[in-house]
């Protein structure tokens, strides 16, 4: 136990989280590392020929490249991106009510994959990795979808849902893989990569 405490307490980098996501902030905090929060306002467009994990890998690297400050020798920038992948296409964050309802109707009764990619970037090197999780939804009732979209903030979430809130509680039949990856940060893999870094 003491060795783990010392590793975290004496981590040789100042961690900067380049994300405004409260879920990512909560998950990184739970690992025990101190960090600064400096959200990066990046245009989340990507080449149309990218498939599945290629999309978040591209976007998390793009966010890292667009960090506005110069990294110091002991800085470590973390950026991440999460997508929902359904039947060969990306479900992004919905822009309006009708779009959110339509997304959830398309997820209803099906399996989709969630890919989260993470970049760790210092002044001298960069590591990029990803994790994937399969999520199985029950057949959602129309009134359940409408209640959720009306009462919860779905507009900052890929696929228009949060695994950790009401729709996750009542709608998900099964998850294969890392639950926290669906929240937006594969914390086990992140911890291991931070220790290696």
What is the per-residue pLDDT for 190? Answer: 96
Each residue of 93-148: pLDDT tens digit? 999 999 999 999 999 999 999 999 999 999 999 999 999 999 999 999 999 999 99
Q: What are the structural domain ranges in the chain?
A: 2-196
Q: What is the pLDDT of residues 18-39, one digit of tens each?
A: 999 999 999 999 999 999 999 9
Q: What is the pTM of this model?
A: 0.93
Express each pLDDT in 68-105 by its tens digit: 999 999 999 999 999 999 999 999 899 999 999 999 99
Which two structure tokens, joined as six digits, stand for 159?
């696929």
Q: Could you tell me the pLDDT band of residue 185, with boundaries at 50, 70 and 90? A: very high
Catalytic hit among 73, 81, 156, 165: 81
In this predicted structure, the answer to whether residue 1 has a pLDDT above a threshold of 80 is no
> DSSP secondary structure string, 55-70?
HHHHHHHHHHHT-SSP
Q: Is 81 a residue of the active site? A: yes
Task: Please say whether the structural domain 2-196 has been given the CATH code 3.90.950.10.
Answer: yes
Say how far apart CA 130 and CA 110 lie, in whole Å. Answer: 23
Q: Residues 160, 164, 165, 170: what is their CA dihedral angle, to the nearest 10 degrees?
A: 90
**H or E element, residue 111:** strand 111-121
């Amino acid at each position: 136990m003491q060795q783990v405490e010392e590793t975290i307490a004496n981590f040789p980098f100042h961690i900067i989280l380049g994300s405004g996501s409260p879920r990512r902030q909560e998950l990184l905090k739970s690992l025990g590392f101190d960090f600064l929060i400096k959200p990066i306002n990046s245009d989340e467009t990507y080449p149309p020929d990218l498939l599945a994990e290629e999309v978040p890998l591209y976007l998390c690297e793009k966010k890292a490249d667009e960090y506005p400050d110069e990294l110091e020798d002991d800085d470590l920038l973390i950026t991440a991106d999460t997508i929902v992948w359904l039947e060969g296409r990306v479900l992004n964050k919905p822009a309006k009510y009708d779009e959110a309802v339509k997304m959830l109707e398309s997820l209803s009764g099906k399996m989709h994959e969630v890919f989260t990619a993470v970049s760790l970037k210092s002044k001298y090197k960069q590591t990029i990795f990803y994790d994937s999780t399969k999520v199985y939804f029950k057949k959602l009732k129309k009134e359940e979808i409408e209640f959720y979209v009306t009462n919860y903030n779905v507009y900052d979430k890929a696929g228009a849902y949060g695994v950790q809130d009401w729709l996750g509680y009542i709608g998900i039949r099964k998850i294969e893989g890392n639950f926290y990856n669906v929240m937006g940060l594969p914390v086990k893999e992140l911890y291991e990569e931070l220790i290696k870094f």
